[in-house]
Chain A
């Protein structure tokens, strides 16, 4: 079973980002929850070539403005 190790970097926020493994590759538009805050994936690329069942990705994210989205 494939494992996707992902480097998450948050732009425009104090959130330090994260590294964790997932069952599916991240995709642009995905929503990620870190430290009770929600982020949207805006960019994805392969960070290193895969080895065995392990894949290595980077995802750039931006914070989702809860107030704006909830008032739409």
Chain B
């Protein structure tokens, strides 16, 4: 299966045409991690978003009481997207927990450029980004309630 076909399974790109998916594939850079590798550090400046195409990552936050694992994310999920939206520091630390953990990395500048050049891509991706954040909030609410 081609990488472009894999992108069709990523919610962030739901609604894009085949040609637009090909454009997106050109700004993705694959990176493979081993269990225990830290992909993003809480508090660090980030200018990349990550799409998990294989394996799992563990998302944790530092608290006064220590580190707390808040969720594991698997294939098809994204992380690091908040830094692209609000330009703020990383809100959590993300570590690879499976062997291998394969991610596609999109740089903020490439992301901004493609969204500006093609308004349809920009609208679809931003809508899906909002939907993903909404889903994560709903998950968090149910998790806290449980």
B143-A21 in contact (CB<8A): no
The interface residues of chain B lying within 8 Å CB-to-CB of A54 are: 11, 14
A21-B138 in contact (CB<8A): no
Query: Whole-angstrom distance from the CB of A16 to the nearest CB of chain B?
Result: 4
B69-A11 in contact (CB<8A): no
Report how far A43 CA is from B139 CA in the complex, Å: 14
B15-A19 in contact (CB<8A): no
Our count of residue pairs bridging A and B at CB distance below 8 angstroms stands at 78
A18-B72 in contact (CB<8A): yes
Tally of contact residues, B, Cβ under 8 A = 25
Report how far A7 CA is from B137 CA in the complex, Å: 10
Given contacts A35-B97, A58-B139, A58-B142, contact A18 B56 (CB under 8 A): yes
Q: Which of B40-64 contact A (CB under 8 A)?
A: 56, 58
Name B11's contact: one of A5, A34, A35, A58 (CB within 8 Å): A5
Query: Whole-angstrom distance from the CB of A64 to the nearest CB of chain B?
Result: 17
The interface residues of chain A lying within 8 Å CB-to-CB of B71 are: 16-19
Chain B at the A interface: SS class: mixed
Is A48 an interface residue when CB atoms closer than 8 A count as contact?
yes
A20-B9 in contact (CB<8A): no
Is B135 an interface residue when CB atoms closer than 8 A count as contact?
yes
Query: Whole-angstrom distance from the CB of A53 to the nearest CB of chain B?
Result: 7
**B136 closest partner in A (C-beta):** A19
Q: A21-B11, A51-B15 are in contact. List 10 more A-B contacts (CB 8 A).
A: A3-B11, A16-B72, A18-B72, A19-B77, A20-B56, A20-B72, A21-B74, A47-B135, A48-B134, A48-B135
Is B129 an interface residue when CB atoms closer than 8 A count as contact?
no
Given contacts A51-B131, A52-B14, contact A20 B74 (CB under 8 A): yes
The interface residues of chain A lying within 8 Å CB-to-CB of B143 are: 9, 16-17
Is B73 an interface residue when CB atoms closer than 8 A count as contact?
yes
